[in-house]
Every structure is written in structure tokens, then in C-alpha cells.
Amino acid sequence: MAKRINDMTIRLGGEAGQGVESGGAGFAQALSHGGLWLHTYTEYMSRIRGGLNFFQIRVADHPLWAHTEGVHVLLAFSPEAVTNYGPHIVEGGALMFDDTLKFDHDAVTRRNVQLFSMPLTKIAQDLGGNKIMANTCGLGALAGIIEYPFEFVADVIRRNFMRKGDAVVQGNLKVAEEGYKVGRDKYAGSFDWKVSPLGERPDRMLLNGNQAIGMGAVAAGCRFMSGYPMTPASSILEYIASHAKKFDIVVKQTEDEIAAILFAIGAGNAGARALTATSGGGFSLMVEALGLAGMAEVPVVIVEAQRPGPSTGMPTKTEQGDLLFALFASQGEFPRIVLAPGTQEECFHTAVRAFNLAEKWQCPVIVMTEFYLTTMMRTLMPTEFPIERVQIDRGELLTAEQLDRLGEPYLRYRDTPSGISPRALPGHPKAVHQACSDEHDEYGHFEDEDPANRLKMAGKRWRKFQNIVEDLHEPTLYGPEGAGITLMGWGSTYGAMREAVDLLNASGTRTNLLHFVDIWPFPEAKATPLIEAARQLVAVEGNQSGQFAHLVRAMTGRRADRMILRWDGRPLSPEYIIEKLEEAKVHA
């Protein structure tokens, strides 16, 4: 009898250009429309044609937070996909492939994996008149073996091929339907995992971290974005560009990252909410300008989508290796805010907060993500993204009316108790003023000789930095209080840690987690009690040295009892965390 499993993983593997990504995304849509919950995850090589890619869909009848390691069915479009991904197939799982694909069958079947051979190309050619549709045929067959109703696949085909005309839609439908029949009739009986729609068809969203950041930026009133393409940050620039016209956002691809941040600083100083996004290499180039924003007190939001480094590193892989760099990048000491969302919903809310914090505190805000979060998609309820209820806080921005009534001369860098100097935008007759990258006086004029002035202005900026903490959030605690093990992480490892916590508690190991989004200034007063309450503190990070654990030790004096680290370019998974805990013999 078939196991009606409520949690399975499907992987599509093949060369770039074989439709792995688009086919996978389409299939995910079809599953989502059936009310199921998804978590997708993709890995690709740093090349445009050829190479080896996969698109992975985890599907379940409950919300998902992470990918898991085993693959239940692999649809392989190339021999390399079989060789490389075959070993990921679980016992009793299946390998689906076109019958013309040549590979060593024995190597796969030795491991109790079933081989589902199908005439995908032949069907595509006979019924669709084009062998490119082998991909569609494969997706149809996939739906067939898991006995997922064909109508959902048909809907997505109609929707996604609509623009290409009726002939293309009909061709694909015929091919998919035949694939479906072959898959179901020939193999469904011997495949144990089934997925069925949940009945109700609620409107669910399926999106990745970059899209959530882009949506948050639009909601927050971003009016300007400049950037220079770099994986995995580019899709933010593309998202904003595609919404520019509707939402009056000026989008500019610049000559390099130095210009990108400087454009944003120029726009931010003039009064437009400004954003730039890059990855580590580009951020390295932006560093001098980061200090400019700090010294001149200009609001600007910078997304740093990490990938493994140093240098050009591994462009299409993942790592959390830039944290300490982001905290301390640039010479001198100045206020900056560093935030690291871990999920799509946090990406959205963090983007909104980043713009508000940047304007309130008149300083650069760095939002750290990583490749994994930028590309992985999850299903979410639309209520997670309350766009129309976003609060826009422009801080102490003087209106034209307030400036009209101004009695005394306007001081751009007025020394105030909070450290925040009320801001006027250039252009008002009563507020002619200068922004300055050199040390300056309250007017904004160069003043680098007078030690008293230096103490005054550096003191003002430092006060501002210390006060920012009031606006920052404490870490999220998930899982039972007083647990024997506390996993501690930041940013995009949240999902893997959360599922690990659930699995551990289900097996009787009382574990919880502390997840940090707001990292700098370190929310010491709010975080220390939670960290001190941990019986065994295990730092979980996607880097080689445990950067966040170092930070926590420096700020709180608490040393992590263990570290679970991963830096092979692959994201942390719940299984990886649990396995490392067991290896280290950490018991609650």
C-alpha cells in the first residue's frame, strides 16, 4: 500500500538551459495551488549554459522552514545529474529519466533505488512536435507517479505559456498529459510517496528572500536604487527596476559598486529613501563610502547578500562569512546598524525597518543575507506581508513649514542630547547647509584642528550609536524555556535551526534556539539574560570561525560551549545540525 506521506522532496537535475529552474518553479506553483506548503532550494554552477544545476522542492501539508537532505524522487535530465545527485536518493526512492539517457544503471539500483525509465523525448516530439518539451513531459510524469491531480499541472502550463500563444499551450498540455498517463500507469503502483491537494485552495505566496526585500523596500517608500550586478544581490535591483515605473522609483545601474553606493548617498542626502545591494566583493569596494555616510550622517540602506569568499569566492554557493567585516568595515568609529533577517517574512519587515532606522538615526543600515536565503522560496500566507499597514517614520526631518518659521541659523550637525540633528533637505532658503566627510563643526564646515570640536562631534555620533539600541529587537526565543541545549544563530540559519529544534524535542531532547536579526549595535541589555539562561550554548553558523559567537563573547562575556559550523558552500540543514550535535555528544 502506498504511504500517503505528508513530507517529501523532489529534485530536478540537469544542465543550465534544460529548464530545471523554470520547470521546477512551475511544478512548485502547481503544488502550492493545491494548498500544500513548500520550501524550494536551488543550486547552480557559475555558468550560463551547460554545467549541473538542481531545483529542489520539499512539499508537505504543514508549513516548512528548511530543506532536508534526502531526495525521494530525482528527475534527471543529464547523466551528470544521475551521477552527482543519485546518491542523495533515499532507500525506496526513485530516479526518473528519459529512456535515451546513458548511465550506469547498476550503480543506482545497488542502493535499493527504483529506475523509472520513460520516453520523454519521444512523446515530446510525437505529440508536441518539439523535443524541448521533454521537460514538460517529465513534469507531467512526475505528477503521475505521485498521483497529484493533473488539473493543477494543466493550470500552471496554461498560465505560464499563455504569452507564447495557444499553439504552445496546447502542445505542452498534450505532452504533459501523456507524460502523466505514462508515469501513473507504469510506475505509480511501485512508488510509495504520494502527494494530494489539501482540498481548500487558499491564496498562498511563493517567494524568495530577495523578492521579499524588494517588496519591503517598495512598501517602505524606497524612491531610489543604484546597484552594480553581483550574484546573489542582482535580483533585488531587477525586482525594483521592474516596479520602478509604477512606484516612482529611480533605478540606476552604475559603473561600479563605488558609484552605486555614492549615488545612493547623494539621493539619500537629498531626501529620497535610497537603497543599494551587493555581495561581499562589491561591499568591499563600498567601504570608504560607508564611512562617508557615517561621517556625513546620511541615511542609506545597503543589502549585503553574502556568498563564500574571500575575493570572488564561490559565486553561486552560500556562506555567512562577512559578519565581522560588515560590523567593522571602514576606518574610524561611527554609527551603523546591521540587521540579518532569516526568513522571507523577516526580509520584508527588516527592509521596512532598515529605511525607518536609516532616516531616524541618519546613518547607514546594512542588511545581511546570504545566497541560500536570496534564492530559496517558501509558501507564505499573504497576511505575513502587511504592505498597506507599513509605518513610515522619517525621523527628525524638518518640513518646509517648520523651516519657514525657523528663527535661528540652521545647524546641520546640531549637538543634541540624543545625538540626532534635525535634518533639512537642501533647497530651502532658510536652511542652506553643507554635508561634510571631513571632521566638521555644527554647521558642516571643515574643522580638523580643534580638539574640543572633535570631542563634541565624535561624542554626538557616539551618543547616537548608543541610543540606537533602544530601537533594536531582542533575539527570538523558539522552543521550550529552560531547555538543556540552546542553539544560537543569526540570519538565514533560522529555518534549519527551527526544524532541528522541533525534531530534537520530538525525540525527547529538550532544545530551544535564540535567533538574532538585530545584530549591531549589539542589543546587549536585551540579549544577555537570554544568553545567560542557556544551559549549553551551541553557536550555529555558516562560516569557518564562528564569527557571531566571537561577537557574543566580546559583548556578553559568555563563551559558546560548542560551535556547529559549515563552510563548504552548502546551507545548514536540520539533519546536519543534529548529526553534529550527536558527534559532539551534546546531550540535554
Partner 1 sequence: MLDVKTFNNPIKVTWCPGCGDYGILNAVKSALAQLEIHPHEVMFFSGIGCGSKLPDYMNANAFTTIHGRALPVAMGTKLANHDLNVICITGDGDGYGIGGNHFLNIMRRNPDIVHIAENNMVYGLTKGQYAPTSERGFITSTTPEGSIEIAFNPLTTAINGGALFVARGFSGDPKHLAKLIMAAIQHKGYALVDVLQPCVIYNKINTYDYYRERVYKLEEAGHNPADRDAAWHKAQEWGEKIPIGILYQVEGQPTYEEQVSELKAGPIAKRTLQPLTRAQADALRREFF
Q: Which of residues 274-313 bind partner 1 (CB under 8 A)?
A: 274, 288-289, 291-292, 296
Quote the CA–CA distance of 356 and 373 in Å, as a whole number: 23
Binding part of the chain for partner 1, among 434-442, 486-494, 537-545, 569-577 by CB under 8 A, reads 434-442
Residue where the block lists cell 561581499: 280
C-alpha cell of residue 458 = 565624535
Cell of 330: 571602514
Q: Tell me the closest approach of the beta carbon of residue 448 to partner 1, in angstroms.
A: 10
Give the β-pairing of 377-380 and 476-478.
unpaired
Contact residues for 267 (Cβ-Cβ < 8 A; gap 6+): 223, 224, 226, 250, 274
Distance (Å, whole) CA 372 – CA 569: 10
Residues that contact partner 1, how many (by CB under 8 A) = 71
Nearer to partner 1, 250 or 503 (CB): 250
Q: Does 388 participate in binding partner 1 (rule CB under 8 A)?
A: yes
Question: Does 429 help bind partner 1 (rule: CB under 8 A)?
Answer: yes
Min CB(52)–partner 1 separation in Å: 28
Query: Which of residues 244 and 458 has its CB atom nearest to partner 1 in the complex?
Result: 244
> Which residue is associated with the grid cell 554545467?
51
d(CA 542, CA 565) in angstroms, rounded, equals: 6
- Residue from 311, 331, 391, 507 touching partner 1 (CB under 8 A): that is 391
Question: What string marks each residue from 235 to 274 as x (binds partner 1 by CB under 8 A) or -?
Answer: --------xxx-xxxx-x-xxx-xx--xxxxxxxxxxxxx
Report d(CA 264, CA 252) in Å as an integer.
10
Residue 273 or 349 with smaller CB distance to partner 1: 273
Closest CB to partner 1 among residues 76, 156? 156
233 or 260: whose CB is closer to partner 1? 260
Question: Closer to partner 1 at the Cβ: 85 or 385?
Answer: 385
Contact between 461 and partner 1 by CB under 8 A: the answer reads no
Instruction: Identify which of residues 148 and 263 has a Cβ nearer to partner 1 in the complex.
Output: 263
Provide, rounded to whole angstroms, the least separation between the CB of residue 252 and partner 1: 7
Which three three-digit cell numbers place residue 328?
567593522
Q: Mapping DSSP to helix (H, G, I), strand (E, B) and coil, where does residue 358 land?
A: helix
* Sole binder of partner 1 in the list 151, 438, 470, 524 (CB under 8 A): 438
Whether 231 contacts 307, CB under 8 Å:
yes
Edge-to-edge strand ranges of the sheet holding 300-306:
250-253, 224-227, 274-278, 300-306, 364-370, 337-339, 518-520
**Contact between residue 112 and residue 105 where contact means Cβ atoms under 8 Å apart:** no
Q: Is 421 in the site for partner 1 (CB under 8 A)?
A: no
Q: Quick check: 340 binds partner 1 (CB under 8 A)?
A: no
Residue 150, CA distances (Å) to 174, 177, 199, 471, 564 in order: 12, 7, 15, 50, 43
How far apart are the C-alpha atoms of 223 and 244, rounded to whole Å? 9
From the CB of 324, what's the least distance to partner 1, in Å?
A: 24
> Measured from the CB atom, is 268 or 282 closer to partner 1?
268
Separation between Cα atoms, residue 530 and residue 527, nearest integer Å: 5
CB of 7 to partner 1, least distance (A): 23
Residue list 196-225, contact with partner 1 (CB under 8 A): 203-207, 211, 215, 218-219, 221, 223-224
List the one residue from 83, 117, 437, 453 that touches partner 1 (CB under 8 A).
437
One-letter amino acid identity for 171?
G
Residue 525 C-beta: closest distance to partner 1, Å: 31
Q: Specify the residue, 188 or 244, whose C-beta has the smaller distance to partner 1.
A: 244
Q: Among 17, 129, 426, 459, indicate the residue that binds partner 1 (CB under 8 A).
A: 426
- Residues belonging to the chain: 588
- Shortest distance in whole angstroms from residue 218 CB to partner 1: 7
The residue from 389, 451, 506, 585 that contacts partner 1 (CB under 8 A) is: 389
| Of 43-51, 382-390, 509-517, 529-537: span binding partner 1 (CB under 8 A) | 382-390
Measure CA of the first residue to CA of the last residue in the chain; give whole Å: 38
Dihedral class, residue 517 (left if φ above 0, else alpha if ψ from -120 to 50, else beta): alpha
Residues 6+ apart with CB under 8 A from 110: none
Q: Does 432 bind partner 1 (CB under 8 A)?
A: yes
Q: Which is nearer to partner 1, 162 or 525 (CB)?
A: 162
Strand-pair category, 364-370 with 37-43? unpaired
